A and B are shown apart, each in its own frame.
Chain A
Amino acid sequence: MIQMNHVYKTYPSQISALSDMTLEISLGEFVFVAGPNGSGKTTLLRILFGAEKPSSGEVIVNGMNITEKGFNKIYSLRRTMGIVFQDFKLLRDRTVSENILFALEVTGHSRKEAKNKVSEILSRVSLQEREKDSVLTLSAGEQQRVAIARALINDPPLILADEPTGNLDAQMSIDVMGIFTSLHLKGTTVVFATHDIDLIRRYPYRIIYLSSGKRVDVHRDEEGKTGE
């Protein structure tokens, strides 16, 4: 599903964000990308969804070699994945359903088809009752659920989540994690970037730990604690 071979990313200011990154994530896997702030988690995800080009190396996502010369169908790549961010990226002047409707319309669904699909998508994140509410009236956890719902409009086999619980309290984080877990159980591959070690400890998934742009081997002890 995802393959990165010897990927380097250096910004024009000569800051090295990723160094010799090699990893493989299989179909249906749930993977935590962990590490402190500035360790390269966001850069890694941005490369995976085509927002950044690596300086060198090869990246294959959902069968598409996005580092291949002449690859310019970023939109095709994005339709095979759902992307979730810490800051939700919702249209704040719209309602819950309008946010989903907008995403559906701009990806080529007819208005009628989009309207029919909205309720179904919102029911997956248990928000169908708040369909007509402005997103500003929602709690942070609910806003993140709207963002997750929006990420599901193309029924993607892959979800990339960049610190999706970063703005949420413990209980809301557990609720949101519940949605990601259920998606994973239905076969969706989830790549979840977080610096929240406590959250990682609660779930038995594989961890890709980054430090200063490099991959570091980690193991879990019997209590689920992680260590280098």
Chain B
Amino acid sequence: MIFFLQYVIRRAFQNIRGNLFPNLTTIGIIAISILIFSAFTLISLNLTSFLKIWEDKIEVIAYLKKGAPLKEVEGLLKNTRQLEGIEGVKYVSPFDAMSFLESKLGSQKNLLQGIQPAVLPPSFEIQLKKDYRNSTKIKKVVSQLKQFPHFEEIQYGQEWVETFSALVHIVRLTQWTLGCLFLFAIIFITSNIFQLTISSRQEEIEIMHLVGSRPAFIRVPFYVEGLIQGLLGGGLAIFFLYLLYKGFFLYIPSSIYAWLARVPILFLPQWTILWILIGGMFLGFFGSFVASMRVLKE
């Protein structure tokens, strides 16, 4: 077994050395395809992470009708807390709202001089349970709140959540559509290049058949060659993606950088990198397998 492995690896590297140009072409094609796929994965990952951060901060603000008696408000507060998906509810009186505005305006708070707190409506700040902080479930909560006639208006930044979710969805869809297209393209291209590589070793293969080589001795080195190409292609793709990722921080304007500093821009996690490398190896292997099925018949 050890001898067989030694033989297979030695033969695979001999094959790569003997057909350097076609091998580099295959590695390059695999690398470019995986780089594009990984770039979309990275974008999708960051958008999803951004959406998650934003969703964690999501809350619903329900504005009460003016002049609602305090006794009714207490009952409403209790009823709202009992609704499905709600973690906590905080009553914000017009005075609280005014102090919040003042704190937000800072040195320009004198703009609010002469304005009575009574012009601001009282409201409920409603925190949602973790599972409910997404665009579909939030609507459920809002529809329950709408049952109460005491609320004038309910806000939760729905357009923003929906648009962003749609964007993430489109990126993911593009990522997987491209992934599938690249899958077929890579298998088609690599198997054709492999066919050329195998054909260039036809003399050796013929001799192997004549002297009684086991089929595994003939085929497996080509499969290993495919695995090596896939691994190198995948590795190169990850390497270039990392360079692009680092380069992104070097060339973005400082104003955007300051904004981005509040949002972590992630690189692919180790498991994703591992899966991409395994995917690359699978593509290389499958390309060589398809080619060998076509060419290695005696």
Contact = CB atoms under 8 A, between A and B. Distances in A.
A116 interface: no
A106 B211 contact: yes
Interface residues of A, number: 23
A89 B210 contact: yes
B208 A106 contact: yes
A106 B217 contact: yes
Contacts of B213: 75, 106-107
Contacts of B218: 106
Contact of B207 (A76, A77, A102, A108): A102
B3 interface: yes
A5 interface: no
B220 to A, nearest CB: 11
Nearest to A81: B212
- Helix, strand, loop or mixed for chain B's interface? helix
A197 interface: no
B212 A76 contact: yes
Contact of B211 (A91, A107, A111): A107
B7 interface: yes
A78 interface: yes
Question: What interface size band does chain B fall in?
Answer: 10 to 19
A66 interface: no
Interface string B1-32: 00110110000000000000000000000000
Contacts of B206: 89
B210 A102 contact: no
B214 A103 contact: no
Interface in A68-116: 74-79, 83, 89, 91, 102-103, 105-108, 110-111
Interface in A158-179: none
Contacts of B215: 75
A139 interface: no
Contact of B203 (A89, A110, A111, A153): A89
A75 B214 contact: yes
Contacts of A83: 210
A103 B218 CA distance: 12
Most central of B3, B208, B211 by chain A CB within 10 Å: B211
Given A76-B212, A107-B213, A150-B207, 7 more contacts: A49-B210, A75-B212, A78-B210, A78-B211, A79-B211, A102-B207, A105-B7
